Amino acid sequence: MRSSFTRIILVSAALYAITCGLFIFFLIQYEASRTVITISVLFAVAAAGIFTGFMLAIRNQMSSILSKLSLTIQSIIDRQGSEWFSVSEDNMLSKLQEQVLKLSGILRMQKQRYKEESEEVKSLISDIAHQLKTPLANLTIYNGLLMDSGLTTDKRQEFTRILLSQTEKLTWLMDNLIKMSRLESGIIMIQTGKHDIGKTVFTAIKQMYPHAERKNVEIQFSGEQSIELQHDVKWTGEAILNVLDNAVKYTDEAGVIKVSIHKYEMFARIDIEDNGKGIPEHELSQIFKRFYRGADAIDTHGVGVGLYLARKIITEQGGYMKVSSEMGKGSMFSIFVPVGDSFSVAPAISDITPLD
């Protein structure tokens, strides 16, 4: 940069000298007076000095600017984020500095996001490996036991049931892992449309009913009105089904699960309340985490994916979930789905109960 600037000064000085020489030559050629020639020469020399000083000042100014820019960039590299140009001045340099600092912030955010994504992938792989380890180990163990020719018929049937249970658990786990990964990676897009949320809830209840019936758990569905709002029927139903499945798992035999819908100005609220064992207060903030299982859930079938998926699905639609619980009395999960501009009251679904 400095050599280029010096070259420009030298070329400009040469052109200026040639111009002055030609001017003096014409003055002598046309026999101008000595005084005029002297004044012209002095003026030319003075102009040359002024021009040279001006160019040198510009060079110094440019060097100062480039030096400050270099310091600014270096401070960004060193993560200091120092400002070398006054931000109170609305000029090109302060604007350039602002853009450079913005770029630095964007790059830092991207780096942090990539780091978090990398940690998330590592965590996911670790969680998946941990979740697959137990059922795969059980399959190997019981498969080996079944190969014992001296095994009694009762034991063989028992081990076969365990193998079937572990296979079902493994299949269920893989299905949910696929759903979870597709949702998180954006492969599956939530597609909302104007649908009756009451019918979506009722469909989920019908799907869960056989599982509840095996435990003699009653599911009661009440709601004065059915609400039409923007939601993805399939995935919202999946979220509700996961919450219902969780309620059935942790409700004792002959228990009751109450499902109700309430409408507000901005949201529709779906309450799923059980009279199970309840959730300890210190676990309430943890239960929506991926693969989280409470201390009392060790003996209950599950891997800790259902509630995580449910909240993920609802959040993707602009909603949210809340939970309240009391030990020994049960828990209530509330799903809030935004009604948006498409809110309207549909014909009521009366006396809907899956036990009839």
In percent, the amount of the chain with pLDDT more than 70 equals 65
Model pLDDT, residue 306 = 84
- Cβ contacts of 291-297, under 8 Å, gap ≥ 24: 291/127, 291/130, 291/131, 297/250
Closest CA to 226 of 209, 208, 203: 203
Neighbouring-strand partners of residue 270 = 261, 335
Q: Which residue has the tokens 């529709």?
A: 268
pTM here is 0.58
Q: 111-127 as b/e, with b when 16 or more CB fall inside 10 Å?
A: eeeeeeeeeeeeebeeb
**β-strands 218-222, 256-263: how paired?**
parallel
Burial of 103 (0-12, 13-18, 19+ CB in 10 A): exposed
Model pLDDT, residue 164 = 84
Each residue of 3-52: pLDDT tens digit? 555 666 666 666 666 666 666 666 566 555 666 666 666 666 666 666 67
Model pLDDT, residue 269 = 93
Specify which of 119-128, 165-174, 279-288, 295-304 reaches the highest per-range mean pLDDT: 279-288
Residue 356 confidence class, pLDDT cut points 50, 70, 90: very low
Q: Which residue has the tokens 């101008």?
A: 32
Fold of the domain spanning 193-346:
Heat Shock Protein 90 (3.30.565)
Helix (H) or strand (E) holding 196: strand 193-196
Model pLDDT, residue 331 = 93
Model pLDDT, residue 81 = 54
**Residue range 105-185, CATH number:** 1.10.287.130
Model pLDDT, residue 208 = 92
